[in-house]
Structure 1
Amino acid sequence: MKIVIIGSGLAGLSAGYRLCKANEVIVFEKDPDIGGMAASYCLEHSKNKYFIERYYHHIFRSDSELLALIRELELEKQMLWLEAKNAYFVDDKYYPMNTPVEILHFSPLSILDLVKLGLLVLRVRLIKDTEPYDQIKAKDWILDTAGKSVYENFFAPLMKSKFGDNAEKVSAAWLIGRVKIRSDRGKEGEKLGYMRGGFNALIEALAGEITANGGEIQTTKEVTEIVVKDNAVQGVVVGGDFIACDAVISTVEPKVLDAITGGKLGTLHDSLINISYQGTACALIGLDRQLMKDGNYWLNIKADVPFGAVIEHTNYLPFEDYGEHLVYVTSYFQDEKSPLWAQNEENIIDSYLKGLEKMFPGFSRKEVHWTKLYRRIDTAPVYEQGYLKNVLPFAAGSSGLYLAGMFSSTNYPERSLNGSVKAGFEAAELLMKNK
């Protein structure tokens, strides 16, 4: 059976990995590099060469499919579970947020508010089914559960930095999923998983298995059409050439899928055009010295700066692995009119560095070795109230067409590397079942 997979992110490669031993698999990737949102830069510092993700990633203890895949690929020896300190920057002050004692010192909230916040987290941990919360706005649920002060002084800035003008539209299901995945911590704080040497090892291992079993991965090859006739997949068009196949697994964004199928997916058409995606402008900066001297890995921000978070990778992974300090500065944006998409790379980097200078008085641009900027207009869905009705099925309706990606049920209410791996597996398994 000849199967075309569109996209070489974790969903596409995971599907290809599951299918390549018994089928002819071809993966088409429009970009020069494989990996999608999990792609890496390859950098050199003095004599040290290393890979680092274009967009920060880590693993949670609950990521069972991803962890099983890592074991299956014999990469488990590269797994590390490390303390990931986080803090909240509010009104020019840093508040560590790792232990119950530290959280009690978060002065923007009163003691009563902190109790309400704690009860909200406890309530979230007890929720087994998030589906009923899909029809409720996160803002309304927080106001009803913990009150106005907790919403305005704690959650609203975080939601604004993640969803911009759409912050008040997101569902309570997303919020509950987010809190559940980030509240699994002990007395000493949160531990997150990372692959020493970077997730490039996972991407390359998956790609290596596909090609070792006779599959192909072709980069800079954009699929411009999925050809469907009599409600059955006939093939794809790539670079003007028709390539026949028996099935297609598409991992592209919903509106792109709608375009390359000519809007002919029947009842799925409305869902495809109704799922809103947002973009990301994520800068990676190489520095001479540590930026956050208190050892924080993740800093959420409520401040007048053009980014919503600072992530110091080398406050999480050993500095010795890289030979320089690595810091991500990132922001989401909602449409093509945003300066983060419309402006050139130099202007965005300049605005980010100005923001760092404002937040960190001791920071100097002279300490910057280099900067990289990774931008995409279609990073992830905006999980609006009622999003569940638009979640795309693994089988698209047309015979031989399957879907897997950030839009899949495995990535709602909160997306993750594990959700994308699981989506790829689900689509592959369903394809083989229907073979």
Structure 2
Amino acid sequence: MKKKRIAVIGAGPMGLAVAYQLARDGHKPVLLEADDRIGGMAATFDFSGELLERYYHFHCTSDLAFFKVLDELGLADKMHWKETKMGYWFQNKVQPWGNPIALLKFQGLPLIAKLRYGLHAFSCTKGNDWHKFDKIEATSWIKKWVGAKAYEVLWKNLFEYKFYQYAKALSGAWIWSRIRRIGRSRYNIFKEKLGYLEGGSTTFLQSMADDIRVRSGEIRLDSPVGKVVIESGAVKGIEIHGRFEPFDSVISTIPLPYIPSIIPDLPPEISSQYKALKNIAVVCVIVKLKKPVSDNFWLNTNDPEMDIPGIVEYTNLRPLDSHIVYAPYYMPGEHPKYQDPDEVFATKVCTFLKKINPTLTNKDFLDLHISRYRYAQPVCGPEFLNSLPPYSLPIRGLWVADTSYYYPEDRGISESIQFGRNLALKAMA
């Protein structure tokens, strides 16, 4: 079989996985990344001496594709597991959450609502067929199971403070898969178990990059693709910084909303499909503290003074010298709030943390960082896959995908790795 020279656009986990598989199969991938670092949403930065992800990540026991790569790279011993806790900030106090005892003791819900909520969560963890939820709108499905009161207390903020005007346009299958993934990453029904990689995401990102390079692959940073050149129904190459470079094939893994601008010669009906897709942006506030806010990894919030659905206390999973809290603000990128300056988000989050833990003072706040990502999460409506063009486009040598294509699974490192490796195999078949 002829070994091909392939351009892979985007060095997030999916793009890395594509290039990794291609290089291992003897091809010569050239991985092109517009950013100054690899990783996409898993990329890391220097947070006053601590190498940290710009957006929090964790691993579940079901992340088999990720574990396979760790084995191949000799990193399996870098994986660590920890029992984590979940809490709920409601009625001005942190309440235990995430297990049957906590549910029964939760203050603010009648018993019947608790039982209905528990039955719904349990049923989601036991099923395997997502197709029966694919045509269902998520909020109506959840309300039918748990009732209006439990929805208002436990679910409404999670929908409305992430998806805003799209909150009632989400797929039941997409929500089901999120409940199922977390529910299955447990020691038992009472204890949650999550994993972290020693050194964080940079450990496997750099190892994948090294493996690509040693097998004759190439990684170019600060290399935004200006155009994918198509002639006579086939890919000819790409333009970078105004210069043409020939390639046998092109595989794009960047967010789909960018595709119409970098591949302007697509058939109009395909371009219109990409343009019709909706996406959620994120403004992620990361705070470094002298002491913890709580003993929870997850802390959901339902408070009229807090316009976020929760925080993630990362160091209650992965131990570091200081205490790290992520407060992600998700919202449609066109929402006016996304244009607010960083200082607005920083001030609000610091106020929220002090309210949750009144012992925190200004001296406990060591540093703060804000990351923004315009296309962080596709809005997955009912029958979402039907809205996507095929990832094998009717252009010879052109393949286009992003995290949308492993619906109903939510975006995740393991899912991106599995899809990316399979995409590489199919593209070269």
TM-score range, shorter chain: over 0.9
> 1:38 aligned to 39, 42, 65, which one?
42
SS in 2 for 1:168: coil
Q: Which amino acid aligns with 1:276?
A: K
Say whether residues 1:313 and 2:311 are aligned partners: no
Post-superposition CA distance 1:46-101 (Å, at most 9, x none) = xxxx4211111011111111111111111111001111211111221212113311
1:126 positional shift:
3.7
SS in 1 for 2:301: strand
Q: Which amino acid aligns with 1:142?
A: I
Q: What is the percent sequence identity of the aligned residues?
A: 27
Post-superposition CA distance 1:382-411 (Å, at most 9, x none) = 112332212453312211111232121x24
- How far apart are the structure 1 equivalents of 2:144 and 2:30? 50
Name the residue aligned to 2:27: 23
- How far apart are the structure 2 equivalents of 1:239 and 1:167? 39
Name the residue aligned to 1:233: 235
Q: Which amino acid aligns with 1:222?
A: P
Between 347-356 and 241-250, report the one with greater CA deviation: 347-356
Name the residue aligned to 1:400: 397
Q: TM-score, normalised by structure 1?
A: 0.93
- How far apart are the structure 1 equivalents of 2:112 and 2:368? 43
Name the residue aligned to 1:412: 408
Between 79-88 and 161-170, report the one with greater CA deviation: 161-170
SS in 2 for 1:421: helix
RMSD over aligned Cα, in angstroms?
A: 1.7
Name the residue aligned to 2:74: 74
- How far apart are the structure 2 equivalents of 1:42 and 1:52? 6
Between 189-198 and 322-331, report the one with greater CA deviation: 322-331
Change (3 A) 1:31 1:103: same
- How far apart are the structure 1 equivalents of 2:145 and 2:307? 30
SS in 2 for 1:169: coil
SS in 2 for 1:314: helix
- How far apart are the structure 1 equivalents of 2:341 and 2:148? 39
Say whether residues 1:384 and 2:384 are aligned partners: no
Q: Does the CA contact (< 8 Å) of 2:234 and 2:395 recur in 1?
A: yes
Listed as ranges, the matches of 1:160-309 within 5 Å are 160-184=160-184, 185=186, 186-262=188-264, 264-265=266-267, 267-292=269-294, 295-303=295-303, 304-309=305-310
Post-superposition CA distance 1:312-358 (Å, at most 9, x none) = 1111222xxx321111111101123432x312223321222122233
Q: Which amino acid aligns with 2:410?
A: E
1:44 positional shift:
4.8
Post-superposition CA distance 1:176-217 (Å, at most 9, x none) = 111111112214421011101101111001111111122211
How many residues were matched structurally?
Answer: 422
Structure 1: where are the runs of 5+ without partners?
Answer: none
SS in 2 for 1:407: helix
Change (3 A) 1:423 1:257: same
SS in 2 for 1:197: coil
SS in 1 for 2:191: coil
Name the residue aligned to 2:322: 324
Q: Which amino acid aligns with 1:123?
A: S
SS in 1 for 2:417: helix
- How far apart are the structure 2 equivalents of 1:108 and 1:243? 62
Q: Does the CA contact (< 8 Å) of 2:161 and 2:307 recur in 1?
A: no
Between 71-80 and 395-404, report the one with greater CA deviation: 395-404
Q: Does the CA contact (< 8 Å) of 1:4 and 1:249 recur in 2?
A: yes
Say whether residues 1:359 and 2:356 are aligned partners: yes
Q: Does the CA contact (< 8 Å) of 2:315 and 2:323 recur in 1?
A: yes
Structure 2: where are the runs of 5+ without partners?
Answer: none
Q: Which amino acid aligns with 2:218?
A: E
Say whether residues 1:13 and 2:16 are aligned partners: yes
1:267 positional shift:
4.4
Change (3 A) 1:388 1:411: closer
- How far apart are the structure 2 equivalents of 1:335 and 1:385? 21
Q: Which amino acid aligns with 1:335?
A: G
Q: Does the CA contact (< 8 Å) of 1:277 and 1:379 recur in 2?
A: yes
- How far apart are the structure 2 equivalents of 1:252 and 1:378? 9
SS in 2 for 1:227: strand
1:23 positional shift:
1.4
- How far apart are the structure 2 equivalents of 1:336 and 1:364? 35
- How far apart are the structure 2 equivalents of 1:359 and 1:290? 11
Post-superposition CA distance 1:5-32 (Å, at most 9, x none) = 1100000000000001411211111111
Say whether residues 1:422 and 2:424 are aligned partners: no
Q: Which amino acid aligns with 1:419?
A: E
- How far apart are the structure 1 equivalents of 2:267 and 2:72? 36
> 1:338 aligned to 298, 322, 336, which one?
336
Q: Does the CA contact (< 8 Å) of 1:170 and 1:382 recur in 2?
A: yes
Change (3 A) 1:411 1:41: farther
- How far apart are the structure 2 equivalents of 1:291 and 1:148? 31
- How far apart are the structure 1 equivalents of 2:277 and 2:265? 14
Q: Which amino acid aligns with 2:144?
A: D
1:263 positional shift:
5.6
- How far apart are the structure 2 equivalents of 1:190 and 1:241? 52
Name the residue aligned to 1:104: 104
SS in 1 for 2:31: strand
Name the residue aligned to 1:121: 121
- How far apart are the structure 1 equivalents of 2:200 and 2:219? 21
Q: Which amino acid aligns with 1:230?
A: S
